[in-house]
């Protein structure tokens, strides 16, 4: 174990502003989640994790009109 490195990292993090510390914690948590999800999951577990991930985003009733999805409106003619 590299105690000096850990102490240096702790010092750097403690010198961050509260907003930067919060961002750091978020990034660290995201990395931990990525590492945990690399384990072999069943298709059902993967689907559940995906649904949980999608549920964290804000809900919006804004959608594209149907004509925006027509092929002729997507590609140049």
| Domain layout of the chain by residue ranges | 1-47
* 1: Cα separation from own chain's centroid: 29
pTM of the model: 0.42
Query: So what's the pLDDT on residue 4?
Result: 92
Residue with tokens 């850990």, as numbered in its chain: 6
Cα dihedral sign, 69-56-18-30: negative
Task: Give the tens place of pLDDT for each residue, 26-67.
Answer: 888 888 877 776 667 789 988 998 999 898 888 887 788 888
Cα dihedral sign, 19-20-21-27: positive
């Amino acid at each position: 174990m590299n105690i000096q490195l850990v102490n240096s990292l702790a010092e750097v993090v403690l010198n961050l502003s509260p907003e930067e510390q919060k961002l750091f914690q978020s990034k660290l948590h995201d990395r931990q989640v990525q590492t945990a999800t690399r384990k072999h999951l069943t298709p059902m577990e993967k689907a559940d994790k995906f649904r949980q991930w999608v549920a964290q985003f804000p809900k919006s009733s804004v959608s594209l009109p149907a004509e925006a999805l027509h092929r002729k409106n997507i590609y140049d003619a």
